A and B are shown apart, each in its own frame.
Chain A
Amino acid sequence: MTVLEQPGSYRPTPPPAWQPRTDPAPLLPDAEPYRLLGTEAADRLDPELLKRLYGHLVRGRRYNTQATALTRQGRLAVYPSSTGQEACEVAAALALEERDWLFPSYRDTLAAVARGLDPVEALTLLRGDWHTGYDPHEHRIAPLCTPLATQLPHAVGLAHAARLKGDDVVALAMVGDGGTSEGDFHEALNFAAVWRAPVVFLVQNNGFAISVPLAKQTAAPSLAHKAVGYGMPGRLVDGNDAPAVHEVLSEAVRRARAGGGPTLVEAVTYRVDAHTNADDATRYRSDAEVEAWRAHDPIALMEREMTRRSLLDDSVVQAERDAAERMAADLRERMHQDPVLDPMELFAHVYAEQTAQLREQQAQLRAELNAAGEFPDAHGGGPQEGRQR
């Protein structure tokens, strides 16, 4: 007989019955990625939406090829192409209202441009004349973010702040499959769920983190399943099916705006180009694999659907291609102009009020440039003048 079994001895109070804090079943993603194109459900798609998505996809792809060409011409330091992923980029931009905020990663130039950002301003980071060449407030687009997943908590904080102020603003944050391994991904999703922040997380699972395939990145059933652990719904969608991505993201945005909290969306897609122009993808994947994905091309899928519904004829295709060529020509022409650089601007934005140390260093650089005959003193420029916007 143990002590606890003796009459009158201490017996612990039994703990309350355990139960799950959230029913996990409604949070689980579907077994298959959600698709619309090529299914019966596609019949109900609004023709205007299809045309709009299609035009953006065609221009988006042309943007990618033009930007990649600009790297070869020395006009861009580097370009991480999103060819093959245009459906995700375009749908993300179109799922948002004007007042919402987009938090792109460095591969999401297209989403920023589709949201209305000037195509040249979107490239200053990659050209190298200023890290963020646009005013984020203008189109409510956060700076293109290079350190992986670090922009996700920013999106949560902004959405949370908007909610505290009573604004029905939603933030949509974009990240890749590799980024889901970062700690900031975890912390952002956790904060968002705890705060019920109006955020939508879009993971573009393009198969690779530079060279590392998803199998080496995670053992999760899918990236969308990760949502369940945070208590938010996970949605799995075919990332090359533009209307499907648009629908899933729009639903998530509506849910967030209505106070329903965050959603994690995994869009299954493929990075057809190498990681950047500086990468050699043949070292880690086969041509056959790339060709299989080319057969599931987001633009071709749209053309098939729109042709079936008689929404697309040669003249429409030609008109979209012409528009894309005009965009590319404008981009090419403007990118071939040298940006106006002002070395004095290096000191202008470090602090609200310049420190004595920076004033001293600025004076020194100015003197060096004057001595070399390179300073705009000669033609009247100052710290705020002649800067590239």
Chain B
Amino acid sequence: MTTAPVDAGRKPATMAQALGRALRDAMADDPAVHVLGEDVGTLGGVFRVTDGLAKEFGEERCTDTPLAEAGILGTAVGMAMYGLRPVVEMQFDAFAYPALEQLVSHVSRMRNRTRGALPMPITVRVPYGGGIGGVEHHSDSSEAYYMATPGLHVVAPATVADAYGLLRAAIASDDPVIFLEPKRLYWSKADWDPDRPEPVPGIGRAVVRRPGTSATLITYGPSVPVCMEAAQAATAEGWDLEVVDLRSLVPFDEETVCASVRRTGRAVVVHESPGFAGPGGEIAARITERCFHHLEAPVLRVAGLDIPYPPPMLEKHHLPGVDRVLDAVARLQWESEWTVDEYESGAR
């Protein structure tokens, strides 16, 4: 007796393909969805995420704009005011900065300023983060700027399935979403059925990628695979690590994070963006405020160094890697007889 496997349509797909498929499906479902940005039309984007959209939907739906990020986002505001649902592409993280004024002064506040009369259903796709050997201005992790701006949602997928699901949810959202696409995961692959994509439970829900009991690694975007690898390696040390993929920084899923930390009693936050005044500080503070009596050790952060993004030949020293994550886990006060000096010096 033979039965067709349930996942017959699943085949290897990259994150870039899943993102492209999400755009395509969103445009097919809703004529209000318009894609605009630099090189998104004929070329299909420098990362080919928008490949084929101009051909399928016409240049009026997938538009090559002049090279001006404030203009791209500023015109998207007007398009949203007229009932469209713009998806704009900022070609690289560090090229999004000219659009910050439009983002902070208008996109994030228009709904509030007008008592809901002018919502801003705009998705801002930002290829972000390092690890691709990019030259200067091509590897920034700028999520802290966006997180510090009330009115925005900030989302970062880590898997092929989430890339599709979260981008669909972002485009469907009536609020502006900063959609951070980890560049070094663009070509990561997973078995995935484009005709039966798994839904995500909307924006703002974290997911436990790996259940564990010893400690919780809290992370998102490009650092999720790093933490998964670290958790695997940690088993050799006898640690059973839980990995929480936040998926969304704003809204922040405190419930999932705190439930995990209360179970394990220990937490490390891992991200690429600089540690000082970065997302990890906010997350660690919230965990401390909510879970203090469950904690066996201070919440630690493993983050990018507090330096301007380094040249590509030196970036490996900047990016949080498996060893640095495991070092942090080792410092979570596993031995009650550790002295304060030993703990603070990281000697053990």
Contacts and interface: CB of A to CB of B under 8 A. Distances in A.
Interface string A160-203: 11101100000100000000000110011011001000000000
A345 B111 CA distance: 12
Interface in B244-274: 250-252, 254-255
Contact of A157 (B60, B75, B114, B251): B75
Contact of A153 (B102, B153, B250): B102
Contacts of B252: 355-357
Nearest to A347: B112
B108 to A, nearest CB: 9
A161 B83 CA distance: 8
A284 interface: no
A352 B80 CA distance: 15
Contacts, number: 138
B1 to A, nearest CB: 48
Given A137-B117, A352-B173, A352-B174, A153 B71 contact: yes
Contact of B75 (A130, A135, A153): A153
Chain B interface bracket (under 10, 10 to 19, 20 to 34, 35 or more): 35 or more
A350 B153 CA distance: 11
Mostly, the A contact residues are helix
A136 interface: yes
Interface stretch (B62-70, B127-135, B304-312): B62-70
B101 A136 contact: no
A349 interface: yes
Interface in A12-40: none
A152 B115 CA distance: 22
A131 B113 contact: yes
B281 interface: no
Contact of A154 (B98, B101, B106, B114): B106
B175 A188 contact: no
A150 interface: yes
Given A153-B102, A194-B66, A356-B254, A349 B75 contact: no
B84 interface: yes
A352 to B, nearest CB: 4
Contact of B66 (A191, A352, A357): A191
B105 A158 contact: no
B200 interface: no
A153 B70 contact: yes
A150 B82 contact: no
Contacts of B86: 157
B5 interface: no
28 contacts: A131-B109, A132-B114, A135-B114, A135-B117, A136-B114, A143-B113, A143-B114, A150-B106, A153-B73, A153-B75, A154-B74, A154-B106, A157-B75, A157-B78, A157-B81, A160-B75, A161-B84, A162-B82, A183-B70, A184-B74, A187-B70, A188-B71, A191-B75, A351-B151, A352-B173, A355-B251, A355-B252, A357-B252
The 3 closest A-B pairs by CB, nearest first: A157-B78, A153-B74, A187-B71
Interface of B: 34, 60, 65-66, 68, 70-71, 73-84, 86, 98, 101-102, 105-106, 109-119, 150-151, 153, 173-175, 204, 250-252, 254-255
Given A157-B74, A348-B115, 13 more contacts: A147-B106, A153-B73, A153-B74, A157-B80, A158-B81, A161-B78, A162-B82, A165-B83, A184-B101, A187-B66, A351-B175, A355-B252, A356-B252
